[in-house]
A and B are shown apart, each in its own frame.
Chain A
Amino acid sequence: MRSDYILETVRMIDEECLDIRTITMGISLLDCADQDIDRSCEKIYAKITRKAERLVKTARDISLEYGIPIINQRISVTPISLLVSVSGGDPVKYAKTLDKAAKDVGVNFIGGYSALVQKGMTEGDRALIESIPEALACTDIVCASVNVGSTKAGINMDAVALMGRIVRECAEKTKDNNCFGASKLVIFCNSVEDNPFMAGAYHGITEPDTVIHVGVSGPGVVREAVREAGPDKSMNEIAEVIKKTAFKITRMGQLVGTLAAERLKVPFGIVDLSLAPTPAVGDSVARILEEIGLEQCGGPGTTACLAMLNDAVKKGGVMASSSVGGLSGAFIPVSEDAGMIEAAEKGVLSIEKLEAMTAVCSVGLDMIIIPGDTTAETIAAMIADEAAIGMVNNKTTACRLIPAIGKKVGDTLNFGGLLGYGPVMPVRMVKPDVMIQRGGRIPSPIHSLKN
């Protein structure tokens, strides 16, 4: 073994924030469905605490034995709207059950308070969506997501309009706690069923009963590799450097995922090789873009650099693991990324630029704090724009918008921890009300007709 390889790995972990961001256990709750909601909740609690009993300990053991930091352990479950459809009753009961079960097994987050309504809503879907503000306000670690569009189905504009209101309500209900509720709700287009990252994780119905997914992370490592390559290298040479780095990061994820799956006697699902930033210094995607050669993220050139970065990360990762899945690209959450926060504070990074960036990277308008007086219709319109980008480009897009109730542009909101903090960003306040009130569906694009 070459000593420079060894020192490189040590440096990656020690100085460049390389870590396994999450080991996420997907658990199917379909067999817990019962016409009696209380019985259904009992079965859910029993199944989650049984299946995930050793998840946190196993992750800690692997972390200690291998010397790799594993930051989070999480659980994703079957979209709860399916269970609500069977049981009826108050969906918040499910949220409380999930919260309790997740806390009792010691995980950081549990995702799957979700509904998939891209083509239409059942009674269960509607009941679940209407309950999201209350569910997120009265629980701590439950995450919700709603899929409102897909390339195959188009965009459900009734659901989009509804979600505009729900996002506001989530923020209003938690306004004494930094509008925290809204940060646990993601609205998707083309959501994926094996995503290990929160807040958008749920366990799709095509997945096995129980499965282990791994999400790696390493913006700091990629940035350092680009820095080392120097300013004289051409863009294709930089892409090559990023590819090789992504390969190494993903291999570590594959190793940890396989080990965890073996020890928990659960099938291994996927490695999600997303570059997921944290507010920590040196763990920023924006800084990679700046290292490539931009004075500040958000200026001209940002979209091109991000497109190259996102593609190179995927190419390196695909070579490293035969089960790459989830979102697998670069995340650009504003409040979770020190470089993005700085760019937004200086006014260099705007929501419009972020929207363009989402067309070429793996997610969407993520962790963006908007003025507290932004109307439900405007939020819905932002969701519709983002969903349109996903629908037409055959990719996942998402919105995690946080209306900062009582605050305006120039103020900041601080969530703490991995969710970070950020400035309230300006939104253009021209009314999209008539368009949103039309409702109905945006038909799927022509290229969805592939058969």
Chain B
Amino acid sequence: MRAVISVVGKDRPGILAFAASECARRGINIEDVTQKVLEDMFTMIMIVTIPEDRHEYHVFAKELEAAGEEQSLKIHVMHEDIFNAMHRI
């Protein structure tokens, strides 16, 4: 399944690397990344594919969100379908 990861926090070196390595450790493929720094706020959106057979999706989501909190980052992992439903007619 495809999921959307959003990362928001105060800009500093290593945020992208941190999120990417968290994914890599679990064999989660990153398909697309967009990021922006507005003043000093870092915002990143990643589209990832989570192999269905290998991961309990919500376990991954919880772990990543918790890991983000430790780094003072707000991370959310959500199913792609939500965005398709809400923002496409």
Q: Are B86 and A9 in contact (CB under 8 A)?
A: yes
Asked if B19 CB lies within 8 Å of chain A CBs, one says no
Asked if A10 CB lies within 8 Å of chain B CBs, one says yes
Q: For residue A66, which residue of chain B has the nearest CB?
A: B79
Tell me which residues across on chain B come within 8 A of A252, comparing CB atoms: 82, 85-86
- Using an 8 Å CB-CB cutoff, how does the interface string of A363-388 with B read, 1 for contact, 0 for none? 00000000000000000000000000
Tell me which residues across on chain A come within 8 A of B79, comparing CB atoms: 65-67
Taking a contact as CB atoms closer than 8 A, the residue among B43, B47, B76, B85 that contacts A251 in the complex is B85
Taking a contact as CB atoms closer than 8 A, the residue among A3, A66, A68 that contacts B34 in the complex is A3
Cα separation A82 to B82 with both chains bound (whole Å): 41
Tell me which residues across on chain B come within 8 A of A449, comparing CB atoms: none
- Size category of the A interface is 20 to 34
Q: Are A255 and B34 in contact (CB under 8 A)?
A: no
Tell me which residues across on chain A come within 8 A of B78, comparing CB atoms: 9-10, 66-68
Cα separation A274 to B64 with both chains bound (whole Å): 33
Cα separation A406 to B48 with both chains bound (whole Å): 60
Interface size on B, residues (CB 8 A): 24
- Using an 8 Å CB-CB cutoff, how does the interface string of B57-89 with A read, 1 for contact, 0 for none? 110010000000000001011111111111100
Looking at chain A's contact residues, the main secondary structure is helix
Q: Are B85 and A255 in contact (CB under 8 A)?
A: yes
Q: Are A6 and B74 in contact (CB under 8 A)?
A: no
Q: Are A7 and B43 in contact (CB under 8 A)?
A: yes
Q: How far in angstroms is the closest Cβ of chain B from A116?
A: 35
- Which positions 1-26 of chain A face chain B at CB distance < 8 Å? 1-3, 5-7, 9-10, 13-14
Q: A3-B45, A6-B45 are in contact. Are A68 and B76 (CB under 8 A)?
A: no
Q: For residue B74, which residue of chain A has the nearest CB?
A: A14
Asked if B4 CB lies within 8 Å of chain A CBs, one says yes
- Using an 8 Å CB-CB cutoff, how does the interface string of A150-169 with B read, 1 for contact, 0 for none? 00000000000000000000
Tell me which residues across on chain A come within 8 A of B47, comparing CB atoms: 1
Asked if A114 CB lies within 8 Å of chain B CBs, one says no
Q: Are A5 and B87 in contact (CB under 8 A)?
A: yes
Asked if A64 CB lies within 8 Å of chain B CBs, one says yes
Q: For residue B76, which residue of chain A has the nearest CB?
A: A10
Cα separation A10 to B34 with both chains bound (whole Å): 16
Q: A3-B45, A9-B78 are in contact. Are A67 and B61 (CB under 8 A)?
A: yes
Asked if A254 CB lies within 8 Å of chain B CBs, one says yes
Q: Are A9 and B83 in contact (CB under 8 A)?
A: yes
Q: How far in angstroms is the closest Cβ of chain A from B7?
A: 10
Asked if A248 CB lies within 8 Å of chain B CBs, one says yes
Cα separation A383 to B78 with both chains bound (whole Å): 45
Q: How far in angstroms is the closest Cβ of chain A from B14?
A: 21
Tell me which residues across on chain A come within 8 A of B76, comparing CB atoms: 10, 13-14, 67
Cα separation A412 to B24 with both chains bound (whole Å): 55
Q: For residue B79, which residue of chain A has the nearest CB?
A: A66
17 pairs, A vs B, C-beta closer than 8 Å: A1-B4, A1-B83, A3-B45, A5-B83, A6-B83, A9-B82, A64-B57, A64-B58, A65-B57, A66-B78, A66-B79, A67-B76, A67-B77, A68-B82, A248-B86, A248-B87, A252-B82
Q: Which residues of A contact B (CB under 8 A)?
A: 1-3, 5-7, 9-10, 13-14, 64-68, 248, 251-252, 254-255
- For the A-B complex with A7-B43, A64-B61, A66-B79 known, give 9 more contacts whose Cβ atoms are closer than 8 Å: A2-B87, A3-B34, A7-B45, A9-B83, A9-B86, A14-B74, A67-B76, A248-B86, A248-B87
